[in-house]
Structure 1
Amino acid sequence: MVATNSQFTDIQNHWARPFIEGLRSRNIISGFPDGTFRPNQAMNRAEYAAILRKAFTMSVKRAYIPFSDVSSSFWGAPAIQQAYESGFISGFPDKTFQPNERITRIQVLVSLIGGLGITVNNTALLQSSLSEIYQDAGLIPPYATERAAIATGTGLVVNYPNLRLLRPSQSATRGEVVSFIYQALVYLGQAPKIQSDYLIIPPQFNSGNTDNNLQQIVKVSHTREFRGVWLTTVWNSDWPSKRGLSSQQQKDELIKILDLVQSLNLNAVVFQVRPEGDAIYPSQLEPWSIWLTGTPGKAPEPYYDPLQFAIEECHKRNLELHAWFNPYRAKTSTKSAASVRPHIAATNPECVYEWGNQLWMDPGLQIVQDRTFEVMMDVLRRYDVDGIHIDDYFYPYPIAGQSFPDNKTYADYKSKGGTLNLGDWRRENVNKMVKRLAEGIKAIKPHVKFGISPFGIYRPGQPPGSKGLDQYGELYADVKKWLQEGWLDYLSPQLYWRIDQAAQSYPMLLKWWVENNPKGKHIYTGNNLGLLDGKAWKIEEITQQVEISRNLKNQLSLGNIYFPMKGFLENRENICETFKASTYAQPALVPTMPEIDNTPPEIPAELKSENGQITWKPAATQDIRSWTLYYQEGSTWRLINVLPVSVTSLKAPAGTYALCAVDKKANESQGVVVTVK
């Protein structure tokens, strides 16, 4: 009885649509053979147990006692047994389960709080406030009051159409059950927040106050900015410094790099994980990279996972990690060690061509398209990355007098009725890949950002006076179309020229990119540190480029990404001192993306000050990434620190502070005020 449609036919204008689609995309719910979901239909107890079984990981808490009205052959018997054993639901005194009985709204909420073992410290305050939140709070059964309060305080309650009516004894519809379960997944940090007018916003208390008063809450903010750096692994450019280092040496080098990134008040690392059809992480799809150990296919010794290590260390430092993939390069040199399985040059050599001294995959072949897509989706599924990022290597950069040898692939396309000319066909191959990636990312983890860093010039003459490589005509990358279609979340055009280079002027090109961005995607410009030499390229060139980017923030120029990291590691032209002193003197969070998620997290709990020490309660959900600390200066608040989520106390000089919680999408809560005397 499963409707496999990508969209149920009867939810288009339904209030619960985003919750329904959220659970459907996770294969937690199914519909009916006619393609409907029937969101207004009441749900019975057996159906509810079946959804619980798919939604949550259940552990046995008690032995199952068979119900007299649930035979072993009943379709829902396994789900009922598992839901009972895990403490989500119970039976009735007469030893029946009544599987076809409708379940009420309060029963669902009580079940979720009990089964998931959710508790809060301010339960008494929440219970005393229920009558202020719900007009019908008096109808909540006494046995359910405590768990109704906890459900309210943890954001599980969704009330449609009237926010003030809980309707505890009313039968829960399929749409309502789905919304409650989805919100439970949000609380657990297993699903992104959904913006809805029908969510009950948890009241904000400070249970640490002895007088039980509401704590002062303030709205604070700062100027957001994406401050990233590309961390290159190919050629051992940035990390590791050479092949064959021990695992500990690799870790030590990476920690040193990330400490430097953090000290510069940067907030994102774009980490190269697929340099040439290989992997800087354990993969069943591609071999270990030669740049780690010196031997393709060989894991680090002692064994560790460099990508997982990098993610954990970045997040400790409040740095986003975007996994950077080269989509089609198969090998940087034909003279290096032979490829090993499962490298595509070993498994499917017919899909890879020599191009100069490199090997390049054929973007027109389905097996190449599938391999590139699946590699990125594999990382997306397995790792807590903040972004998926691809660079400018689509069809390879041209070699004078040579043509890319995909004539057989193109002839096959034509023989099957294809009508596009060679250039349009190549662009369409890349377009399909970009669109597929965008859709795949949003289907699996909608909160993960998709970014592309193309060559900095779209086409010569666009804008007028610009000259250089025609990436539309030679790399077959129609970046303008990707912006028009909205297939990405951010674009990082590589503007690797000086301000005064007339034909490739930094401000001229940046202005063109922000003016050709109809869907309002973020622009994080790529900046070139590789030429900093104190002569043609001085430090003022970089700082002025940053200011040019900032001056276009109203057109969504919202940050910069620097290449290479080595520019910082070598401290060329004292760039580190300059950035710390002026360019990035203050910390900043990355910009939010409201189209992905704009729901702020709950405020920090139990904030106190005693003997110059500020303390607060650990994060209540796994969705919290960090804390921001503001200092009051007159009538304004200044961000002074971004703290990792593991920190729950700090020493502070006398003054007034506000602490906010920040989630994985960089949404920031309101600030809770505390005074240090």
Structure 2
Amino acid sequence: MKRIIFILLYIAFILPIAAKPPKYEVRAAWITAVYGLDWPRTRATSPEGIRKQQAELIEILDQLKAANFNTILFQTRTRGDVLYNSSIEPYNSILTGKTGGNPGYDPLAFAVQECHRRGMECHAWMVTIPLGNRKHVAALGNESVTKRKSAICVPYKREYFLNPGHPQTKEYLMSLVREVVERYDVDGVHFDYLRYPENAPRFPDSYDYKKYGNGRSLAQWRRDNITEIVRYIYKGVKALKPWVKVSTCPVGKYRDTSRYSSRGWNAFHTVNQDVEGWLGEGIQDQVYPMMYFRGNGFYPFALDWKEQSNGRQIIPGLGIYFLHPDEGNWTVDEIERQINFIRAHNLDGEAHYRVKYLMDNTQDIYDILEENYYTAQALQPAMPWIDNIPPTAPTKLSVEHQGDGYTLLRWQPATDNDKRNAPTYVIYGSDTYPVDTSNPENILAQRVQGTEYLYAPIRPWKAKKYFAVTAVDRCGNESNVNQNNQFHCTKHFVILR
């Protein structure tokens, strides 16, 4: 009893105090395109419309960058339509107001470019199994997968779905993923609704079950179907680009824990997602469980994900939309407690659903994150199960003052030969020597390409005196530190890395 009281007091009183931010942490936000919920507001039907649509996305990315977010989950596929130039599915009507309408640019290519320009990762967020209601499917016409691949599609409760029990479903989904991974420099592919509809005993797959069930229960067969899709896509992505992260956002509670009930809403039983099985098999790099709950609906289930992670990255999705009075009666300290709990128990970060509530600063959530939690930049956690060998260190760092507070840093590149997985660079600065590269407050920039960086502090009188640079590969491995040599150059000492 005393231990339980201590835990409750810990959560209630100690956790609201923001701790020093970690150096490695995923800070993600979902940018929702379906129905234009987050983006876009403007239709791209003219050069001016294209410019405004792109400017709306840039505004979102600029604000997230200013608050030290580092991961964008950009909606790339919605309900059988997409936001990139696909040879398989049509453009989403939200871009132009017309189904299949070409917006005059490629939104995914634009998002990737702008994220990378700001040192952020861009993950292609793809809704997988649902295909939309009858009206939506009819609007897609002959371009709908229900017309072109009718054998793998089924109607259920006035909507259409891909049939996870059909062997060709995984191949169709992989064809979409292959387009994205091969054509775009995405950092991850992120799968939403990779599951059956909730509590669906009458989902129309009885023919497939009789054909492929092989004595398994219906529930187990369905779980195996989803797992096979996950496995097939994971292996397919790794064969193309091993560093591209594969993730899902499953239902937020895996199943009942030993002490806490999921109250009938969990991944394993309700929607046939065996996520802990995926983690144990190693066919996920990240999992973003949709943990839109409070109190004992959050904390014990977050610990359960961590305990079953098999070393993979667990990034709880936080329901910040409940901060809006039309959505729920949450107060912002609930989100603060959850973030501190995530950090205290060494989970790998958090994702915010959805970006609109950050942009609107609902209950000051954006300000609180910027001023109290994301006060310094964070690097991406590494993926040692893919690659644990750091790149070689850059060398011969030099400093040249340009006047007006500008400082040009140059270095010789890392000598790694894998051009597809070429490292980028992290720039550190400090008022003390040697630069402490373990302190995230010293990170000036990340994902720098090329071999030079122009340092332009916002307040010239607070300009850093000492600098360092490291190389980081796309699996998050950072090069070793070499701080044995110094060079004196117009009042600044420079560290050779």
Answer with 1 or 2: which has the greater Rg: 1
Letter in 2 for 1:527: L
For the residues of structure 2 that align with 1:347 and 1:601, how far apart are their CA atoms? 46
Within a 5 Å distance, the mapping from 1:349-368 to structure 2 comes to 349-368=150-169
Within a 5 Å distance, the mapping from 1:198-277 to structure 2 comes to 223-241=23-41, 243-244=43-44, 246-277=49-80
Letter in 2 for 1:385: V
Within a 5 Å distance, the mapping from 1:652-671 to structure 2 comes to 653=463, 655-671=465-481
Structure with higher RCO (Cα < 8 A, 6+ apart):
2
Correspondence for 1:408 among 197, 207, 220: 207
Per the alignment, residue 311 of structure 2 pairs with 520
Within a 5 Å distance, the mapping from 1:188-203 to structure 2 comes to none
Per the alignment, residue 270 of structure 2 pairs with 474
Correspondence for 1:346 among 147, 152, 172: 147
How much does 1:243 deviate?
4.8
Correspondence for 2:454 among 635, 645, 649: 649
Confirm or deny: 8 A CA contact 1:616 1:648 kept in the other structure.
Answer: yes
TM-score (norm 2): 0.82
How much does 1:562 deviate?
0.9
Per the alignment, residue 13 of structure 2 pairs with none
Confirm or deny: 8 A CA contact 1:272 1:324 kept in the other structure.
Answer: yes
For the residues of structure 2 that align with 1:311 and 1:332, how far apart are their CA atoms? 30
Per the alignment, residue 118 of structure 2 pairs with 317
**SS of equivalent to 1:573:** helix
Per the alignment, residue 97 of structure 1 pairs with none
Confirm or deny: 8 A CA contact 2:252 2:266 kept in the other structure.
Answer: no
How much does 1:348 deviate?
2.5
For the residues of structure 1 that align with 2:316 and 2:78, how far apart are their CA atoms? 21
Aligned length: 442
Deviations 1:86-136 (A, max 9, x none): xxxxxxxxxxxxxxxxxxxxxxxxxxxxxxxxxxxxxxxxxxxxxxxxxxx
For the residues of structure 2 that align with 1:343 and 1:654, how far apart are their CA atoms? 56
Confirm or deny: 8 A CA contact 1:427 1:477 kept in the other structure.
Answer: yes
Matched, 1:284 2:87: yes
Matched, 1:298 2:101: yes
Per the alignment, residue 255 of structure 2 pairs with 459
Letter in 2 for 1:624: P
State percent identity of aligned pairs: 30
For the residues of structure 2 that align with 1:475 and 1:512, how far apart are their CA atoms? 18
Per the alignment, residue 507 of structure 1 pairs with 299
Matched, 1:558 2:368: no
Correspondence for 2:183 among 373, 382, 387: 382
Deviations 1:497-552 (A, max 9, x none): 112xx4x1x111111111222x2111111111111137831221112111100011
Within a 5 Å distance, the mapping from 1:125-140 to structure 2 comes to none
Deviations 1:328-380 (A, max 9, x none): 11115635752234431121334323333432111111232211122112211
Correspondence for 1:485 among 259, 272, 281: 281
Per the alignment, residue 445 of structure 1 pairs with 241
For the residues of structure 2 that align with 1:353 and 1:442, how far apart are their CA atoms? 30
For the residues of structure 2 that align with 1:244 and 1:379, how far apart are their CA atoms? 22
How much does 1:619 deviate?
4.8
| Inter-CA distance 649–272: structure 2 relative to 1 (3 Å threshold) | same
**SS of equivalent to 1:482:** helix
Structure holding more strand per residue: 2
TM-score (norm 1): 0.61
For the residues of structure 2 that align with 1:420 and 1:654, how far apart are their CA atoms? 64
Confirm or deny: 8 A CA contact 1:275 1:326 kept in the other structure.
Answer: yes
**SS of equivalent to 1:292:** coil
**SS of equivalent to 2:389:** coil
Matched, 1:598 2:388: yes
Per the alignment, residue 615 of structure 1 pairs with 409
Confirm or deny: 8 A CA contact 2:260 2:300 kept in the other structure.
Answer: no
How much does 1:274 deviate?
1.0
For the residues of structure 2 that align with 1:409 and 1:241, how far apart are their CA atoms? 42
How much does 1:325 deviate?
1.2
**SS of equivalent to 1:340:** helix
How much does 1:466 deviate?
3.4
Letter in 1 for 2:26: F
| Inter-CA distance 635–404: structure 2 relative to 1 (3 Å threshold) | same
How much does 1:463 deviate?
5.1
Correspondence for 2:430 among 627, 631, 641: 631
Confirm or deny: 8 A CA contact 2:257 2:301 kept in the other structure.
Answer: no
| Inter-CA distance 352–601: structure 2 relative to 1 (3 Å threshold) | same
CA RMSD of aligned residues (A): 2.5
